[in-house]
Structures are given as structure tokens and as C-alpha cells.
Chain A
Amino acid sequence: EAQVTQNPRYLITVTGKKLTVTCSQNMNHEYMSWYRQDPGLGLRQIYYSMNVEVTDKGDVPEGYKVSRKEKRNFPLILESPSPNQTSLYFCASSLSIRPAETQYFGPGTRLLVL
């Protein structure tokens, strides 16, 4: 089944404790991205990757890192999480970033930083 998977789905952590949220897609998509969704603010892009070893900042990259060593995986790293990073996170992928391509989203990761 074609899908985007994220792990963990739910995470409670404490300020400053490094964490990684994994994202994997099995559709051989070139383009992958991370979003956070907050009430009243909608979906905001954190980072995106056009292809392996090519990553770039989105609208809200501060406090996050990403890597794209393999085509299928695009982990999101919070080196020192803070409470303002409490949010719902979505990973998404598409075949490419040509304008007509559909974005496929993972199921989301709910993060609470205490």
C-alpha cells in the first residue's frame, strides 16, 4: 500500500531532550516536506527536500533540523525542544514539486514538550 508513515504518532518529552521524528514513504517520491499545524495558524512548512541530499528551509525552520540521506526517509530532528514546539507535525511527499503534483501526508505526530 502506498503510504507515508511517521513515528512516533504521539510523544511527550521535556525541554532540551533531543528527539527525532521519522518519516518514510514507499512511493519513490522525490519531494518531501515537514509541516507543523497549530490552532489559528494553519499548516506551516518547516523544511523541504527536493531530492536526496537537497534540503531547504520553509517558513518556520528555527529549532529544527532535517536530513535526506535516502530517498524514502526524511527525519525531523529537534536538538533542544522547547514548549513552543508543542504542535501537530505532518510529513508529506509528492512525486516531484512540479505544480500539478498531489501532496500525500503522513498521519501526523502529536508532540508535547513540557
Chain B
Amino acid sequence: RKEVEQDPGPFNVPEGATVAFNCTYSNSASQSFFWYRQDCRKEPKLLMSVYSSGNEDGRFTAQLNRASQYISLLIRDSKLSDSATYLCVVIDRSGAGSYQLTFGKGTKLSVIP
């Protein structure tokens, strides 16, 4: 069984802080990686994809470390609106032309005024 592990938190950080989350995965052949954001039991929404070379979107930076089998999400200058649960998603090939998505259980972030 493929495993995707996240620290559940909660991470309580003050506004303006930098915070980082990690997500480890068990299958060294995993194909693709994403970070999703979920607000208070609403539907998850894509935050960003994670590319091998690392990628940045404003205050958010995602990185992939294939050797150690983890992905990371860094949030700089935290805003109150960043408070949410962050889910990592790993996609693996599960057969000819078929792929399986596995979600981590999420890391809860609370940004405090």
C-alpha cells in the first residue's frame, strides 16, 4: 500500500512568519505531486503543482526531493487568510494507462493575529 504522510499539526504561527510543511511518500516511482488547500471542511482546491526543479507562486514555494522521497511547501509572510488545512497529493501509475491519487491526511495551519 502506498503511503503519504504529513504532520497533522496544528501549526500556530503569527502573521508574517514563515512556515514550512513536509510530506513524505513511500513509492520511489511516484509520478506527480501537488499541494491542495482545504478550508474548514469545504472542498479541496489546487494550490500548486510540485515540479522537480522546485517552483514558486508568490509567497508559496514547493519543492520535491526524490532522493529522500518528500515534498515541501514553504509559505512566507503568512497571512490570516492562509489559515487552512494543506493536503499533499501523490500520483502513482497503477496499471496500463491508469493512475492512482493518494491524499495525505493534511496539515492544519492557523495564522494568528
Nearest CB on A from B35, distance (A): 12
**Which residues in window 3-44 of A have CB below 8 A to B?**
33, 35, 37, 40-44
Asked if B98 and A97 sit within 8 Å, CB to CB, the answer is: yes
- A108 / chain B contacts, CB cutoff of 8 Å: 41-43
Query: A97 touches which one: B34, B99, B105 (CB < 8 A)?
Result: B99
- A54-69 CB mask vs B (1 if < 8 Å, else 0) is 0010000000000000
Residues of A within 8 A of B34 (CB): 102
- Flag if B99 contacts A90 (CB, 8 Å): no
In contact, A103 and B101 (Cβ under 8 angstroms): yes
Interface size class, chain B:
20 to 34
Q: Please tell me if A100 contacts chain B, counting CB pairs below 8 Å.
A: yes
**A106 on the B face (CB < 8 A):** yes
Not counting A40-B105, A42-B105, A103-B89, a sample of 6 additional A-B residue pairs whose C-beta atoms are within 8 angstroms of each other reads A37-B41, A42-B103, A44-B103, A50-B98, A99-B32, A103-B46
Binding site for B on A (CB under 8 A): 33, 35, 37, 40-45, 50, 56, 88, 90, 97-100, 102-103, 105-108
User: B residues engaging A (CB < 8 A)?
Assistant: 31-32, 34, 36, 41-46, 49, 87, 89, 91, 97-101, 103-106
Can you list 23 A-B contacts (CB < 8 A)?
Answer: A33-B101, A35-B103, A40-B105, A42-B87, A42-B106, A43-B87, A45-B101, A50-B98, A56-B98, A97-B99, A98-B99, A99-B91, A100-B32, A102-B34, A102-B46, A103-B36, A103-B101, A105-B43, A105-B45, A107-B43, A108-B41, A108-B42, A108-B43
